[in-house]
Amino acid sequence: MSSRPPLTILLASPRGFCAGVDRAIQIVERAIAKYGAPVYVRHEIVHNRHVVDRLKALGAVFVEELDECPPDRPVVFSAHGVPKSVPADAKARKMLFLDATCPLVSKVHVEAGRHFDAGREIVLIGHAGHPEVVGTMGQLPDGAVALIETVEDARAFQPRDAGNVAFVTQTTLSVDDTADIVAALRARFPEIAAPHKEDICYATTNRQDAVKAIAARSQVLLVLGSANSSNSVRLAEVGQRSGARSYLIDDAGSLDMAWVDGATIVGVTAGASAPEVLVQGVIDKLGASFDVTVEEIDTARETVTFKLPRAVA
């Protein structure tokens, strides 16, 4: 008999890397393999400290702006997308650049462009300052896109022509929060043009659904992910709403064991930019103090893959 108290870990599936993150990381790795180090990356390739640190060790140099990059070295644009001015600037400087923008973010860029060409006033539902929002708004001239963050913003928004409005969204939002904002917009603008297919990406939706499934049965939910990762922060919020005390942690070292005192069921998941090794680290740490049973709760199967750019395929 084990002297350790029993603990069931409900492991959310799907969790961790999505196809867009996987592709972005591969682009950096292959660029280093092909062109040698250093390869420059504008902004964090994905929002995860462990991923960034591992790529730094391989020879990636992370910068905020293009003018920090020497013109004779390759530069990779992050998975979140960039304003149109950035590749234009890189071309003008004759730089070799690789665009790791997630194809699902690129889809939102294309949608916004179509609405603009059709003369519609565009609303972007998203979080101010997030690189994806900066990139999407930067696809069009200043003032062409209005950012809406809350239901209150949706109620206060005053378009020039209420009959000619369209909305797009950041891909990593809370599905439930976004539905409330969209409902507020539709109530005011019944003719509002919507995306053909929801902009919130399949991976964000699937991971939130998986969290709802495990959080309803868990006393505590542990979400692996960095604090600047939008989709990871949303997972912790969804877990909290679903009734579990929820904590966003970088890795096992950030896990305070006092949080799980007295718990018999703990849910574990990871944001779309968090590597699986971090999940295993948390399971191992819990296993050192508890007699652990791991139960994987599978709510969706993901088979999406994205092609690499020709330059590194």
Q: Which residues are catalytic?
A: 132
SS (H, E, C) the chain: CCCCCEEEEEEEECCCCCHHHHHHHHHHHHHHHHHCCCEEEECCCCCCHHHHHHHHHHCEEEECCHHHCCCCCCEEECCCCCCCHHHHHHHHCCCCEEECCCHHHHHHHHHHHHHHHCCCEEEEECCCCCHHHHHHHCCCCCCCEEEECCHHHHHHCCCCCCCCEEEEECCCCCHHHHHHHHHHHHHHCCCCECCCCCCCCHHHHHHHHHHHHHHCCCCEEEEECCCCCHHHHHHHHHHHHCCCEEEEECCHHHCCHHHHCCCCEEEEEECCCCCHHHHHHHHHHHHHHCEEEEEEEECCCCCCCCCCCHHHC
Contact of 125 with 171, CB cutoff 8 Å: no
Rg (Cα) of the chain, in Å, rounded? Answer: 21
Q: Does a cis peptide bond (omega within 30 degrees of 0) precede residue 190?
A: no
User: How far, in Å, CA of 9 to CA of 3, rounded?
Assistant: 18
Contact of 21 with 306, CB cutoff 8 Å: no
